[in-house]
Amino acid sequence: MSSGNAVYDGLVVDEQLGHLEYVVTQELLGGFQDAVGYPEAGFPHIAVKEYIEVLRRKHGPVPIISAKHRDRYFHPPIVGKRVQVSGWVREKYERRGRWWLVVETLAIDEDGREIVRSEHTFLIGGLEAGQ
């Protein structure tokens, strides 16, 4: 059954998504800490929105609504280190007339330290099933 969204319909479970790379700067870290109101916050990946960016880098704009996420933090990123992010489509399903997508990301710094592993569930465009 088609979701009515060509990008979503073309996604394949276990497909690797686009690659993202960025350097953790003091400005990036400080901006994140200011945004969350917590000066000791150490995980600016949320501000980078890497979980959406890996999808967009491979498939372009996709109308999504973030529904839930789960993060497992291993090491705080180090200022000045390059972080590489990979992502995969882990699941696609229809429930209650809505189309859902689960994307997993893994962020590792240039020294091989695992920073964070995330799983994000998105509602695709709010489309009704069968449209």
More confident residue, 6 or 88: 88
Q: Tell me the per-residue pLDDT of 51-76, one tens digit each, with 9 for 90 and over.
A: 888 998 899 888 889 899 999 989 98
Q: Which residues pair with 103 in a beta bridge?
A: 89, 120
pLDDT band at 126 (very low <50, low <70, confident <90, very high): low
In a domain, 130, yes or no: no
**CATH value at residue 54:** 3.10.129.10
User: What's the whole-model pTM score?
Assistant: 0.83
Query: In total, how many domains does the chain have?
Result: 1
In a domain, 129, yes or no: no
In a domain, 131, yes or no: no
Whether the CA torsion 61, 66, 72, 76 is positive or negative: it is positive
What pLDDT, on the 0 to 100 scale, is given for residue 35?
81
What pLDDT, on the 0 to 100 scale, is given for residue 44?
61
What CA–CA distance (Å, rounded) separates 113 from 68?
A: 25
Q: Which residues, in sequence order, are CB contacts of 92 under 8 Å at separation 6+? A: 8, 11, 13, 99, 100, 101, 102
In a domain, 107, yes or no: yes
In a domain, 90, yes or no: yes
